[in-house]
Structure formats: C-alpha cells, structure tokens
Structure 1
Amino acid sequence: MSDALAGVNSMVSGLTDSINNAISALQAQKEQEAAAAANVQEFQKQVNKSSSNLQGQATDMGILAKNVTRLNVVSNLAANDKVDFYKFRVTSKGEATLGQVGDDGLRVQLMTRLGSVIADSNPDSGKDYEAFQKLQTGELTLDRGEYSLRVTREKGQSEKETMNYALQLQMGGYTQDYDTVAKQPDKSSSPYQMSTAQQTMLSGLNDAITSLSSISYGQTGTEKLLGSFNLFV
C-alpha cells in the first residue's frame, strides 16, 4: 500500500513540475514579447491610392525585411472601385505571413512583379489557394524581389457597397512597424502624373538632347566621349 501511495505521490509531483515548467515558459515568453513590443518603432503614412487599375500604379507598402519590418495597410474598396494594388519589396528569402481582417467577400492575391499569381484567397483557385493558406500560417517562402497584393471583390459581390479591409505582412519578428493608410484617389490628379524627381530628370534629358549639336559626327570614340562632358556643364 505504501509503495502504491509513493507511486501516486511521485506521479502527482511529476505532473506538478510539468505544469510549473509550462507556466514558467509561458511567462518568460510573454515577458520577451512585452520587451520586444516596448522596443518597436512605429511609423505611419497617409497616401492617396492611384485612380488607375493597373498593377504598375500600385500603392507602395514598403520594404519587407526579415525580423526587422512589419507592413500594414488599411483601406477600402469604395463603391464602383474594382481593384486595389499594393507593392512591396522583399530583401531576403524567407517565410512570409499575411494577416487579413475586413468585410466578407474580399479576394486577395499575391503576385509577382510581372503579374503571375502566387497565392489566392479564392477556395476555387486550386494550388494557389493552398499557397494562400501557407501564407496565412507563415509557411510560404518568398524569394528576394518585388511583389504585389491585389484586392478585389469576390464574384457576386455588389460593386455598390464599400468594403473595408486591413492587410499585414511580416517575416519572423519585427522591430519596425509601418502603417499605410490608403485613402481614395485624388480626383484632381492624374495616375500618370510625374513626381518632382521624374520632372527634374526629364528636364535634364531635354537639356542634354538640346546640347547634342555640340557633338559633331564622324569623331573618334575618344573625342565623342570627351565632347559629351559638355552635356553636364
């Protein structure tokens, strides 16, 4: 009887130790997460989405760096707004995680820079849907490069209804949290309007073309290169 009781006591003691160890590990994890959260830098920008429905005019979310950045975007598909595009750049190969909240009936696709679909939230998209499920659980590997997120309505959803959503991307942990609040397009601006830097570059190019008359034809390669310095004077 005493041996049986000793065995029970030993089992109870072992179970208690296991529970205490699990609680200690959980507390340590929470303390680490709290410490990490306290050191996170937060950034926010507000932008107007392009009125274009082309991937090339995607709104920039930022740079996705493994264990460094987390990218968030908050926006909506307004009435009669067919699609939103967001672009981001991955700095190194790793497993990405996509978080999504918002109204039901939204379709999210992850695409390459050239427009090929990698992952699709539509259950009827076969392997692309399987890839999307991996993306949600942090098991989809992305190579270094540029990517886009495409947000649309599922088939059958009314285009007259505004649909709100928020998307989040990360690779592992993060120390910098970037929020992009994407507002509706500015109707007074063209989606193809040049930036200040582009306008300056075009102006310089025009000046260079105007100066081409300073280079006479029939020169040797060396003479032509030396003469081209006049373009930058």
Structure 2
Amino acid sequence: MASDAVSSVNSMVSSLNASITNALSAIQAQQNQNAASTDEVQTYEKTVKKSTLTNAGAATDIGVLARNTTRLNVASTLAANDSVDFYKFKVTSKGEATLGEVGDEGVRVQLLSRLGSVLADSNPDSGKDYENYQALQKGEMTLDKGDYTLRVTRDKGVSAREDKNYALQLVMGSYSQDYDTVAKQPAKGDSPFQLSTGQQSMLDGLNSAISSANSITYGQTGTEKLMGSFSLFV
C-alpha cells in the first residue's frame, strides 16, 4: 500500500513537472517584483487533507493575505473523479492582489466573494470575469478587506478521469512571511469535518504555523516558489 501511494505521488509530480514549463513565462514577470530579501523572509508550511465535501463551506484554509506581509501558496491536484477544490483566505486590508498559477492545462480557477459571487474567472468565455482574472494575474485587481474563496475545477470538455495538478499563489505587494499549504487527497472513509481544527488554527494564528525553513529556500521569486512547492509532495 505504501509503495503504491509513493508511486502515485511520484507520478503526479512527474506529470506536473512535464506541464510546468509552459506556465512559467506567463507569471515570471509579475512575480519577480514581489521577492523580498533573504534576511527578511520567514517560511511556514503545513500539509492537510482536503475535505470529502465538495462545497465552499468545506474549503481548505490557506491563511491570511496581509499587504506587504504575507504570501500564500497552495499546491494540490484534482484527482480522477474529484470535481472541485475550494480554498479560503482572509484579506486584512483593501489593496491590489496578484494571483500566480502553474500546473497542467485544463484547470479552471475562479475567485469568489464571501457570498459566493464570482469575481474573476480563468475561462476566456466568462466576459468581464475573465478580464478581472487577467487583471488579478497582473496585480491590477483590487480586493476589499474580507473573506474570499478560490474554486478550482476542470475546464469544460476535460475528462473527469484526468488528474490535474496545480499550484496557486496570492500576494499583495511585498512579503516577509511565506505560507505553504500542501493539500492532499482525503482517504476513503475520512470524516468531512476532521480538518476543521487545523484549518481554524491557521486562520487564528499565523505565528503558530510550523516553520519549514529546510523545505523551501527563503527569498524566492514567485515562479521559483511555485516550482519548488512540489518537492513537498515527495
């Protein structure tokens, strides 16, 4: 069983590495400006299992987005027949946010308000929401203080049997604290509510997150960060 699990993870990482090159050029310029100096950046990491529920109320908490303070990173996969992933985060003050994304083709990302309204959508056919998504990638979309959700699905026409690997990154200005979330698949029989305690602790106390200085190099650009995050899967 353990061997099969390791093989599955290695296969996922291999698939991601094969697709990541094409995504790098699209986010390199927008992320380089956000790198902080080596002496200033602290890195924290947590590994969680996603909820078995497929609604925004069961979203995995990836932390607090604070202007010129935090950068939030999440790496995961839409496994076969896994229809949707949700991630929640809190914005502490109004400002222009930047979203970085790398991974397999065929992944759709939407930014939702606290009430579930779509604010930005990576689907080119989504009109104004797509324009907002492009602005978000460039760091030109303003987010108000409050709670938000990222919804990750497959593009229309993509088979639900295909694994889709991805990593997302949020930053607002510069940063001095890097927060990594590795979101793994729930095991069969897992309770949909078992992660609530861990998720709440991340939301309530960023300073209590487990330091993982050896996992990811300090002061990385956004592109390097997203590439390096996948080493956490193995």
TM over 0.5: yes
Runs (4+) of structure 1 exceeding 3 A deviation are 32-35, 192-197
Give the CA RMSD over aligned residues.
2.1
In structure 1, the partner of 2:52 is 51
1:128 is aligned with what amino acid? Answer: D
**2:114 corresponding residue in structure 1:** 113
Counterpart amino acid of 1:188?
Answer: G
Is residue 43 of structure 2 the alignment partner of residue 42 of structure 1? yes
Q: Partner amino acid for 2:98?
A: T
2: CA distance, partners of 1:196 / 1:184: 18
Aligned pairs (5 A) from 1:69-218 = 69-193=70-194
**What does the per-residue CA deviation read over 1:11-40, in whole Å, with 9 as the maximum and x for residues that have no partner?**
xxxxxxxxxxxxxxxxxxx9x988723320
Secondary structure class of the residue paired with 2:105: coil
- In the alignment, residue 135 of structure 1 is paired with which amino acid? L
TM-score in terms of structure 1 length: 0.68
Shift of 1:153: 0.2
> Structure 1 vs Structure 2: percent identity of aligned residues?
68
Q: Deviations over 1:45-97 (max 9, x none)?
A: 00000011110000000000000000000000000000000000000000000
Using CA pairs under 8 Å that are at least 6 residues apart, name the structure with larger relative contact order, 1 or 2.
2
Aligned residue for 1:101, secondary structure, equals strand
TM-score, L = length of structure 2: 0.68
Contact 2:49–2:195 (CA under 8 A) maintained in structure 1:
no
Distance in 2 separating the partners of 1:169 and 1:186: 28
Which blocks of at least 5 consecutive residues in structure 1 are unaligned?
Answer: 1-29, 198-233
Offset of 1:113 from its aligned partner?
1.4
Tell me the distance in 1 between the aligned counterparts of 2:182 and 2:43. Answer: 14
More helix by share: 1
1:184 corresponds to which letter in structure 2? Q
Q: Is the 8 A contact 2:36 2:176 kept in 1?
A: no
CA distance in 2, matches of 1:56, 1:34: 33
Greater CA deviation, 180-189 or 116-125? 180-189
Shift of 1:161: 1.1
Q: Shift of residue 195 of structure 1?
A: 5.3
Corresponding position of 1:65: 66
2 CA distance for matches of 1:33 and 1:94? 14
In 2, Cα distance between the equivalents of 1:106 and 1:140? 21
Kept in 1: contact 2:34–2:173 (CA 8 A): no
Q: Distance in 2 between matches of 1:68 and 1:34?
A: 12
Instruction: Give the match's secondary structure for 1:63.
Output: strand
Equivalents in 1 of 2:110, 2:180: separation in Å?
A: 20
> Which has the higher mean CA deviation after the structures are superposed, 176-185 or 37-46?
37-46
